Amino acid sequence: MSQATAATLAAVGVFALAVWAAQAQLNPFYLQILGLLGINIMATVSLNFAAGFGGMFSLGHPAFMAIGGYTAAILTYPVAMKSMRIPGYPEWLLQLQLPFLPALLIGGLAASAIAVLVGWPVLRLRGHYLAVATLGLTVIVQVAIVNLVDYTRGALGLSGIPGLTNLWWIAGFLVLTIFIVYRLVHSRFGRALRAVRDDYVAAQMSGVHVARTRLIGFTIAAFFAGIAGGLLGHLLRILTPGQFSFSAVFIGVAMMILGGMGSITGSILGAVIMTILPQFIIPLERGGTVLGIEVPALNGLTQIVTALILIGVMLVKPAGLAGAKEFSWRPLFGLSRPSKRGGSA
């Protein structure tokens, strides 16, 4: 075992300990914020896998989260309430209630299935054409959810979802997502994916099956987005089409850009800043006396500050906080770069 691998394993151990401590000590408010943070990191990492590493600038990520979220929620929904609230499904599905893990995985697979269907025609497009086409997917899924009232409860939202998500589930899937994406990016497949991103023609000339590589990358990203959606639904205990609208698209992209496209570390940074920072500003929004000084209510302060940070970072570091770089133990331990391809995580 190399020193870096040992350090990574130790870090995962410390992380598990922290999750245990948080679950035991923190009140539900902090747990919910940390939960949303974990889900946002997952969503951003998966978006970055498609957009940053794969060059597929997808604005359809909220759609995949919605599909994964609704699918998982329908599978864990209490049977007693199903026939009353979502009576559109066939009888066997109305009588079915799955445990959380299979429901989440099926949700992820459902998102992947839609990604294959949509990706087949749409991934021929590149750049902003692809962005607009995938934005169409977000719109279609949202309209479908609103109109399929007997299957989704429409605009009112599917409420009464069991609150199965806790920090352990989120932390577990988060570590898994980061690990798998990291390994994929540094595999033969990942190199092919980045080659397609950087030079379409050159990749094709080198024997990379361009269409297939892109489709597989897109499908994997959709899977993790679907899982994130499932975790979100079971954390907030409600899903509505409004959660997966344009603003969700923009926030997701902002987290990715802020951290840096093509960097897992960056995705984590971006999601942390965009999720945690507003929580410190919100108490200031409602005004009151701060340290003896009367402050008026400042509605919208959160949005303004996050926007300013986004602008500031783009001015100073246009490639995002982490650029395309990744966190590494090497500078910390003063290790030299391992020769050739011997390095491991």
- Write down the least CB distance from residue 177 to another protein, Å: 20
90 vs 300, which CB is nearer to another protein? 300
Binding mask 159-178 for another protein (x = CB under 8 A): xx--x---------------
CB 255 within 8 A of CB 40: yes
Asked whether position 326 contacts another protein by CB under 8 A, the answer is: no
List, in order, residues 6 or more apart from 339 with CB less than 8 Å away. Answer: none
- Span 83-122, contacts to another protein by CB under 8 A: none
* Residue bearing tokens 């401590």: 21
Question: Which of 115, 100, 342, 344 lies closest to 216, judged by CA?
Answer: 115
Alpha carbons 244 and 260: distance in angstroms, whole number: 23
Q: What angle do CA 156, 161, 166 make, to 5 degrees?
A: 130
Q: Please, which residue, 55 or 233, has the CB nearer to another protein?
A: 233
Give the shortest CB-281-to-another protein separation in angstroms.
10
Q: Are strands 158-159 and 288-290 parallel, antiparallel or unpaired?
A: unpaired
**In this chain, which of 2, 8, 166, 302 binds another protein, going by CB under 8 A?**
302
Minimum Å gap between C-beta 299 and another protein is 4
Length reported for the chain:
345
Closest CB 2 distance from another protein, rounded Å: 20
Give the span between the Cα atoms of 245 and 138, in whole angstroms: 7
Q: Tell me 238's DSSP state.
A: E
Build a one-symbol-per-residue string for 240-269: x at contacts with another protein by CB under 8 A, - elsewhere: x-xx---x----------------------
Using rule CB under 8 A, residue 283 touches another protein: yes
Please pick, from the candidates 1, 24, 25, 28, the single residue that binds another protein as defined by CB under 8 A.
Answer: 28
Phi/psi region, residue 263 (left: phi>0; alpha: psi -120 to 50; beta: rest), is beta
Is residue 285 a contact residue for another protein (CB under 8 A)? Answer: yes
Q: In terms of Cα–Cα distance, which of 45, 102, 41, 39 is closest to 220? A: 45
Among 98, 116, 154, 182, binds another protein (CB under 8 A): 154
**Residues of this chain that bind another protein (CB under 8 A):** 27-29, 32-33, 36, 146-147, 149, 153-157, 159-160, 163, 236-238, 240, 242-243, 247, 276, 279-280, 282-283, 285-286, 288-291, 297, 299-300, 302-303, 331-332
